[in-house]
Structure 1
Amino acid sequence: MTMTHDTEAPPQAPEVAADSLTVVPRRPPRRSLLRNDLTGWAFVAPAMLIILGLSIFPAVWAFVLSLQKWNGFAPPTLVGGENYTQLMSDAEFWDAVVHTAVYVVLFVPASVLLGLFLAVALNRNIRFIGLYRTAIFVPFVASAAATGILSTYLFSPQYGLANNALRTMGLPAQGWLEDPQQAMLVIAIMSLWGQAAFTTVIYLAALQDIPVELLEAARIDGANPWQTFWRIVWPELGPVTVFVTIWQMIGALQLFDLVYTTTRGGPLDATKTIVYFLWEKAFKTLEFGYGSAAAYVLFAVTLLITIGMVLYARSRKMEAF
């Protein structure tokens, strides 16, 4: 006799379409969110306080001062736009504007071109290349005081190395920093000695970022090094060129330290720049409102030039920002 046991299969769960299942993430408790926010603000707060204390607050205070007359001791007197009106008719201020413009024209193109040349020269796999790149960057980290002392020694009309070299070649000695026609040129040269390293480093990084395949394709197509540079390398460096030009222009408009350590605005105010002018007004003659007005005029001019260059670069499809 055979006995059969009917085993019933367990009931199967109803099939559910996979796309009908939605996983709703659990929101963390409100207390946990508040704790995370407070932790983030605790990390950000010190840097934010430094930024507010060292940049935004002084900028707002300087604007308020530009609308007043104040010598630092007596109560300030509100004069509105009188300081700005006086600047527009101040011959000394416009001379400082001209001197600054001359320096910008001398320094900015030379620093960009020299940086590009040095970057191309250093973008090679040769022996001791790391030493050469370090040596190029050393002047950039030197202090303005050291650069000023060096320039005073090199270009001294009496015992400077520059005039000694000219005498050796039978050429007449020059006045250099003591000649109103040459002083700004000497300052531009010494600025170039220190600041060209910055553009060199930026261009060198951009050159190393250019795809090797593009350069190899140009060589295979028969392009010589000069054609490869102008047709391949230079277009790739367009955004970097815009960036370093704007950066160096802003630095040139704010020239002060090298003038202060060498000529103090002389000879005959030939090297008095806008920043040196406003420093004299604010901290020597104690015209804080007048100096602040000059600072805000410089800020407005710098902002307009920067915006103009950025818009022009974007119209040429060379966005750097």
Structure 2
Amino acid sequence: MTTRPLLKPPLRSPGVQRAQRSRRRFRDDLSGWLFVAPASILVLGLSFFPAVWSFILSLQEWNGFSEPEFVGLDNYSALVTDEDFAAAVMHTGIYTALFVPMSVLAGLFLAVALNRKIRFIGLYRTAIFVPFVASAAATGILSTYLFNPQFGLVNNVLRVLGLPAQGWLEDQTQAMFVIALMSLWGQAAFTTVIYLAALQDVSPELLEASRLDGATPWQSFWNVVWPSLRPVTIFVTIWQTIGAIQLFDLVYTTTRGGPLDSTKTIVYYLWEQAFRRLEFGYGSAVAYALFALTLVITIGVVLYSRRRGQDAF
């Protein structure tokens, strides 16, 4: 019985093969872009267009009804001599200086405490994260009742302990600290989750080796765990700083910038100028000043961390 030889497919030239690979690559790229196009258009529409329009508004004087009047950089130059804006920047800086270190340290402490194999650890981790998903408005309203000078729970506890009641949100010297505590209750969960994920990546062999070498728990943490957490710390510090600079919701639901404008932040001042006084051009200039401040802080921290060899991005 004779067998017929198998016919080999004709060899294609290298040029034809390259053309086929290029067509396949183009089809794959096109399919990918078609999948992401709706989301990309939505993101661009909700970010790029408002940013451009806000910049154009910052060069104009407009109350939302009359014809816009081009004023150039007058709105920006007015910010330099605006004492209310300077006060808002100072209040935002005070809040940032209070909130960011507390949130980072609280998140680190809670993450170390939750990085253990104990019973119901999943329940504890869930309970820590619940305040983060709660509405900031609900947090502000609840905190208002807790820190009410007349019938608030905190002052009632102080009275039972024989301590003097405090003014809290009605006291100029205490209001911003109370708002920082409110933010800490909701935002510490974020840093806890980030630190907890980083702690679970630390090599158990290194920790065991340090124990065998006679290191104390503190020495093991400082010399083994902490070096791996430094990039994470830079990231959460930048993230929490950006969030602190943009504080608005808690101020709006609690003090409305009071007492005596002691809690008026940059974003609240922006809202007041744009939507209460209808000075949309000036409010847009405040928004771009806030953007510039955030960008400078972020770039400064990133450059400093890279010079120290601790990249976080």
- TM-score after normalising by structure 2: 0.93
Residues 162, 222 of structure 1: CA spacing in aligned structure 2 closer, same or farther, 3 A cutoff?
same
Distance 2:307 2:139 in 1: 39
Secondary structure of the 2:20 match is coil
Distance 1:30 1:306, change over 3 A: closer
Q: Which amino acid aligns with 1:131?
A: L
The 2-side partners of 1:213 and 1:36 are apart by: 43
98, 107, 110: which one aligns with 2:99: 107
Closer/same/farther in 2, CA of residues 214 and 24 from structure 1, 3 Å limit: farther
Q: 1:282 to 1:224 in 2, by over 3 A?
A: same
Q: CA deviation at 1:65?
A: 0.7
Structure 1 residues 33, 313: CA separation in 2 closer, same or farther (over 3 Å shift)? closer
Equivalent position to 2:112, from 117, 120, 131: 120
Q: Which residue of 2 aligns with 1:83?
A: 75
Gaps of 5+ in 1: 1-21
Separation in 2 of the partners of 1:24 and 1:218?
61
Answer yes or no: is 1:92 the counterpart of 2:84. yes
Matched, 1:65 2:57: yes
State the alpha-carbon separation in 2 of the partners of residues 35 and 179 from structure 1: 65
Q: Which position in structure 2 is the counterpart of 1:209?
A: 201
Q: Distance in 1 between matches of 2:143 and 2:32?
A: 48
**2:229 maps to what in 1?**
237
Over the aligned positions, Cα root-mean-square deviation in angstroms equals 1.6
**Count of residue pairs brought into register by the alignment:** 300
Q: Please state how far the C-alpha of 1:115 moved relative to its aligned partner.
A: 0.4
- 2:244, 2:181 → 1: CA distance? 12
Q: 2:217 corresponds to which residue?
A: 225
* Equivalent residue number for residue 254 of structure 1: 246
**Cα distance in structure 1, aligned partners of 2:214 and 2:32:** 57
Query: Residues of 1 paired with 2:221 and 2:16: CA distance?
Result: 56
Q: For residue 25 of structure 1, report the CA deviation from its aligned partner.
A: 4.1
- Cα distance in 1 for partners of 2:203, 2:152 equals 47
Deviation at 1:180, TM superposition (A): 1.1
Map of 1:12 onto structure 2: none
Structure index of larger Rg = 1
Distance, in Å, in 2 between the alignment partners of 1:44 and 1:185 is 44
Cα gap change, 1:38 to 1:226, in 2 (>3 Å): closer
Q: 1:311 aligns to what? A: 303
Cα 1:73–1:133 change in 2 (3 A) is same
Shift of 1:31: 6.6
The equivalent residue for 1:13 is: none
Match of 2:188 in 1: 196
TM-score by length of 1: 0.90
| Deviation of the 1:310 alpha carbon | 0.4
Q: Could you list the runs of 5+ residues in structure 2 that have no partner in the other structure?
A: 1-13
Deviation at 1:26, TM superposition (A): 5.3
Equivalent-residue separation in structure 2 for 1:262 and 1:228 (angstroms): 43
Distance 2:226 2:22 in 1: 55
Q: 1:75 offset after TM fit, Å?
A: 1.2
Q: CA deviation at 1:159?
A: 0.6
CA deviation profile, 1:161-186 (whole Å, cap 9, x unmatched): 00000000111111111111111000
Match of 2:161 in 1: 169
Q: Hey, what's the Cα distance between the residues in 2 that align with 1:132 and 1:182?
A: 31
2:39 to 12, 28, 47: 47
Equivalent residues in 2 for 1:177-192 (5 A)?
177-192=169-184
Deviation at 1:118, TM superposition (A): 0.4
Shift in alpha-carbon separation, 1:32–1:313, aligned structure 2, 3 A: closer
Are 1:157 and 2:141 an aligned pair? no
User: Would you say 1:74 and 2:69 are equivalent positions?
Assistant: no
Superposition deviation, residue 145 in structure 1: 1.3
Return the offset for 1:43. Answer: 1.1
